[in-house]
Amino acid sequence: MIRFENVGHRYGMGPEILRDVSFSLPERSFQFLSGPSGAGKTTLLRLLFMSLKPTRGLITIFGKDRSKITRAELPLMRRNIGVVFQDFRLLDHLTTYENVALPLRVRGREEASYRADVIELLKWVGLGERMHVLPPILSGGEKQRAAIARALIEQPRILLADEPTGNVDPQLARRLLRLLIELNRLGTAVMIATHDLGLMDQVDARRMVLSAGRLEIYD
């Protein structure tokens, strides 16, 4: 689905954050992205989500050269990529249900066409009884599951999760990991950016390790 070939990226005239990064992200794959702080994980995720363009190299996304994707085409292509941000990015004045449904509302969908899907998804992530609660009332783990549900509501082909267990205790981290594994078994490709080695040890999955802007892959 996505291929990087000798990709490099720098901000302005600064040093390269990523250097000669090459990898492919296949359908239904599961992988971890790790590395020390400042190694370039967030930059790589932004390139995957198409919020950045590479300084050099080739990125192919769903068969299209990233450099040839127009601004008008971006929103439609991004629907194939769900993102779970480390800081959740939930809107405090909207209920859990409304936060999850927001991407569909923004597209102009009538609520009757998606209400059942949102409710089913909230039940799947274990928030069926919390759908009418505002985010400030939710625990950190509940906010994370709400963020996952919102990233999944458009049924993306890929889910990018940025430190999804960084703000929860180890028991809840394992529960969230099981949720992402189940999602992968249902057909969605998953990439988890994390520095938690204990989390990675629980799954036999590909590890992509960034160090000083260079990528090593361990299958």
Tens-place pLDDT, residues 120-174? 999 999 999 999 999 999 998 899 999 999 999 999 999 999 988 877 778 888 8
**pLDDT surpassing 90 at residue 197:** no
**pLDDT surpassing 90 at residue 70:** yes
Contacts 24+ apart (CB under 8 A), 42-45: 42/162, 42/193, 43/9, 43/17, 43/18, 44/18, 44/210, 44/215, 45/83, 45/160, 45/162, 45/191, 45/193
**pLDDT band, residue 106 (cuts 50/70/90):** very high
Report the CATH architecture of 1-80+156-219. Answer: 3-Layer(aba) Sandwich (3.40)
| Residue 174 pLDDT | 85
Alpha helices in the chain (DSSP H): 41-48, 74-78, 96-106, 111-124, 140-152, 170-185, 197-200
Residue scoring higher pLDDT (168 or 213): 213
**pLDDT band, residue 39 (cuts 50/70/90):** confident
* Percent of the chain at pLDDT exceeding 70: 100
Residue 132 burial (10 A CB sphere; 0-12, 13-18, 19+): exposed
Determine the average pLDDT of the residues in 68-92: 92
Q: Is 104 helix (H, G, I), strand (E, B) or coil?
A: helix
- Terminal CA-to-CA distance of the chain, rounded, Å? 18
| Residue 165 pLDDT | 80
* Domain ranges for the chain: 1-80+156-219, 90-155
Q: Are 164 and 149 in contact (CB under 8 A)?
A: no
165: number of Cβ within 10 Å: 23
**pLDDT surpassing 90 at residue 214:** yes
* pTM, entire model: 0.91
Strands 56-61 and 64-65: antiparallel
CA distance 49 to 42: 10
Tens-place pLDDT, residues 107-117? 899 999 999 99
Tens-place pLDDT, residues 162-186? 988 877 778 888 888 989 999 999 9
CA distance 51 to 59: 13
Residue 101 burial (10 A CB sphere; 0-12, 13-18, 19+): buried
| Residue 198 pLDDT | 84
